[in-house]
Amino acid sequence: MKAIAYSIQPYEKESLILANGKKHDLTLISNELNDKTILFAAGKEAVIVSNSDLLDIPLLQELWQKGVKFIIIRSNETARIDLTTATRIGFKIANVPGKDQSVDAISRSIIRNLNAWEKGKCVGSACCCDKVYDLASKKKVNLNHVGLKECN
């Protein structure tokens, strides 16, 4: 899977590279995800963000238009992602659940999520989508009420 990780700190790089084991095509950049750096997400299937990256409606819409379908936040927090809008657009969203928030545990969780999505599977307890939307009854949603175009 092609993925880009934004806001990567030097101490995170080695751990993520080792956890990946050359399985996924990862791009690691230290820049935060914003309207100026979103262009780097073009052609990627997934974005990996930190707690400092804000994923609001305009940014989510632009990510979707660039072909991104998956979002992973490197934390058990999700407050800086508009989960309702992201889920309604069609994104699959995962976090790093659990008490172990060490760099190595986060890196392993990220790669597990990418592996699961690549195989078309759910990411289990890391899934954030079902926290705001019943995926079992997911239907095409009219997004005009939040200012978004329909996404396919």
Domains of the chain: 2-146 (3.40.50.720)
CB-count exposure of residue 69 (10 Å: 0-12, 13-18, 19+): middle
Instruction: Look up the pTM and report it.
Output: 0.85
Q: What is the dihedral of CA 84, 86, 92, 96, to 10 degrees?
A: -70
Residue-by-residue pLDDT tens, the chain, 152 positions: 999 999 999 999 999 999 999 999 999 999 999 999 999 999 999 999 999 999 999 999 999 999 999 999 999 988 899 999 999 999 999 999 889 999 999 999 999 999 999 999 988 888 887 555 444 444 444 444 444 333 33
